Structure 1
Amino acid sequence: MIGTVDAFVAAAVDAGVRYAVLLSSPAAYEVGEFDRPIGQIHRAVERAVPDSGLAHTVLYPSWLATNTRRDWAGQIRAGGRVAIAFADAPVTPIHPDDIAEVAAHLLTHETFRSRMQILSGPQSMRMRDAVALIGDVLGADVTVDDVTREQALDLDQGRIPRPVLESLLDVAAATIGQTAPVNNTVERITGHPARTLRSWLEAHRHDFQNG
């Protein structure tokens, strides 16, 4: 999100909203991101909510399962290949329904309300493993074309603002060889284990297929 939420928050307070859940990003606090464009945007929103006096919880979800569609679906439909810089960077894909359920619980129950809740999917995997999983769901080979940082910047063709993309690439490069954090927050709040990336892909396989 780019811009200010001050007017929205003020309207919520004026309307008598008693509690809010803010969907933020780990970029707001992670090393290499909190002081760069993505982190700065999220931190500005996070400041506006408490400054209003509105009671709230901030959610920090891990890498979204929907990122596979946003970043790779077009390439897969076009040629069954995905160009990725730092494909060995780890992610912990989280299902959007789990984020929604956590938010709904916080809005309707006081049990787990706190300043923040960090949410993750059930498994750390490399980006190239996520691509392989897409291929498995589709029943087809999906190839990862490893590209350099500079090639990734050129291939994007301005789709993502360059400072934002540079930050994303730098963070990915710095995490290679590590394991992405996994926690049980989704299960603790919703009462069921976090959904897998496969479950989201199976429900949305058509987004990666031609026709």
Structure 2
Amino acid sequence: MVLSSPAAYEAGEFDRPIGMVHRAVERAVANFGLDHTMLYPSWLATNTQRDWADQIRTTRRVAMVFGDAPVAPIHADDIAEVAADLLTRNTRRARIQILIGPRSLRLRGAVATIGDMLGVELPVDDLTRDQVFEREQARMPRPILETLLDVAAASIGQTDPVTNTVERITGHPARPLRSWIEAHRTDFQHV
């Protein structure tokens, strides 16, 4: 079982740093010779905590670039349940499983979901690419950030696909972003 990334196969990513790292891991596993399945989760619901929780707790605002980029957040528990099923049963075994949340929404919509759970409006401040490079330079290498920004920019006007893979494997529909936010509400509460 390998938790990979759609960056390993998506146009605009597979031949750039993030995709190349994931493909290298996938090749190493395949070359080992054991039966395996690659899990490709969509945008992780946990990204909301990693990317926005500090801003929301301290300023009650979120600054981001490409707020209209689409995402279909996948709940971490859905990924874990799919992995557990595939590791403990020999059904639905395939080389890949693409795990996608139940609904495509814009990044702004994800912020609005958090605000709704907190009972507050969370304004989104639009940043330029240059502002993002300035803010994030200590957090991640520039080539990684450039790839993420290029992918987000290219996705504007698109809709993230939604599948029933989680439901086919676990027997229940994929959990909505709201479910993850409810379970982690304190991560976003004002200090």
Task: Give the TM-score category using the shorter length.
Answer: over 0.9
Give the corresponding residue for 1:205: 185
1:43 aligns with 2:28: no
Which of 92, 96, 110 is 1:130 aligned to? Answer: 110
Which of 46, 66, 78 is 1:66 aligned to? Answer: 46
The within-5 A match list for 1:91-170 is: 91-170=71-150
Query: Match for 2:152: what amino acid?
Result: A
Aligned residues: percent identity?
Answer: 71
Task: Report Cα offsets for 1:149-202 as digits up to 9, x if no partner.
Answer: 111111113201111011000000000000001000000000000000000000
Give the corresponding residue for 1:193: 173
1:178 aligns with 2:158: yes
Please give the secondary structure, in 2, of the residue aligned with 1:183: coil
Give the C-alpha shift of residue 93 in structure 1: 0.2
| CA–CA separation in structure 2 for the residues paired with 1:185 and 1:101 | 12
Which runs of 4 or more aligned residues in structure 1 lie more than 6 Å from their structure 2 counterparts after TM superposition?
none
Please give the secondary structure, in 1, of the residue aligned with 2:181: helix
Larger radius of gyration: 1
Across the aligned residues of Structure 1 and Structure 2, the Cα RMSD in angstroms comes to: 0.8
Structure 2 residues without counterparts, runs of 5 or longer: none
* 8 Å CA contact retained: 2:75, 2:174: yes
TM-score, normalised to structure 2, is 0.98
